[in-house]
Amino acid sequence: MNFTNKTIIITGASAGIGKVLAVKLAQQGAKLVLAARNQAALEITAHECIQAGGQAIVAPTDVTNPEACQKLIEDSLATFGALDCLVNNAGISMWARFDQLKEISMFEKIMKVNYLGTVYCTNYALPHLKNSRGLLVAISSLSGKTGIPTRSGYAASKHAVQGFFDSLRIELRGTGVDVLVVSPGFVATDIRQHVLGADGKPVKASLNNEQQKAMSTELCADLIIKAMRKRKRELVMTLKGKLGLWLKLFSPNLVDTLAARAVSSQKREI
């Protein structure tokens, strides 16, 4: 896939992976539609994209609202006339044991953003992606492959993303539309500054052990772009992640033990 003059929508483009991915695609001449709730942050991303040699428009969007997702697609078409790729990247996370939750409604919030947001955007984008024989990208997580303690709601939403796009890939055979599911491990983004705690509010904390082992957003974006260019079906980023998937087939109890041990060793850093 050549990105020059290709119209690409990226949700969650105001920061983190989405922002870096947008700028790198702009360097390759893409036309970017940048979506997120924070318009001021989107304007900064758009400026960097234009400085990098691409075209970019800002489309403030709450992906939990189906009408807002429809408008996102309509605005993209009105500006650029076509749609070649949708990158579903918007997401939120959590950090709390299920039996210690004080606010169960966070599960609904996480599911709406991480899963239903991708469904809504994909629903309105799909007819146009069929016309362009384009590409659907879902930024999932290794948590979408296996359960992670203290991330039960997040893992559930990413399992839903994985199942939805795996099913959609099969349905879209013969249409020219390809589906890529990306499963990063820990990436050094500011998402953990907004992670939801047991009370359903952002804890404004990071896990120091996790951050020390995190992949940079630049490397993460480079790997995503490489997979997009090849129109791959799946990208599991780390060797540990790939080994974990194989190990889960043969020794699932060991995988559970390792996951529990990894999380118990983490310390919260305010």
Residue 183 host element (H or E): strand 178-183
User: Catalytic residue among 115, 120, 124, 154, which?
Assistant: 154
Residue 117 CA to residue 62 CA, distance in Å, equals 8
Closest by CA to 29, choosing from 59, 10, 3, is 3
DSSP letter string over 122-166?
HHHHHHHHHHHT-EEEEE--GGGTS--TT-HHHHHHHHHHHHHHH
**Residue 230 CA: distances (Å) to CA of 31, 125, 217, 224:** 19, 21, 20, 10
CA torsion angle for 126, 131, 134, 139 (degrees, to 10)? Answer: -10
Long-range contacts from 40-49, C-beta under 8 angstroms, 24+ separation: 41/14, 41/15, 42/13, 42/14, 44/14, 45/13, 45/14, 45/18, 45/19, 48/19, 48/22, 48/23, 49/22, 49/23, 49/25
Alpha carbon 170 to chain centroid distance?
A: 21
Look up 120 and say whether it is catalytic. Answer: no
| Residue 97 burial (CB count, 10 A) | 12
DSSP 216: P
Positions marked catalytic:
154
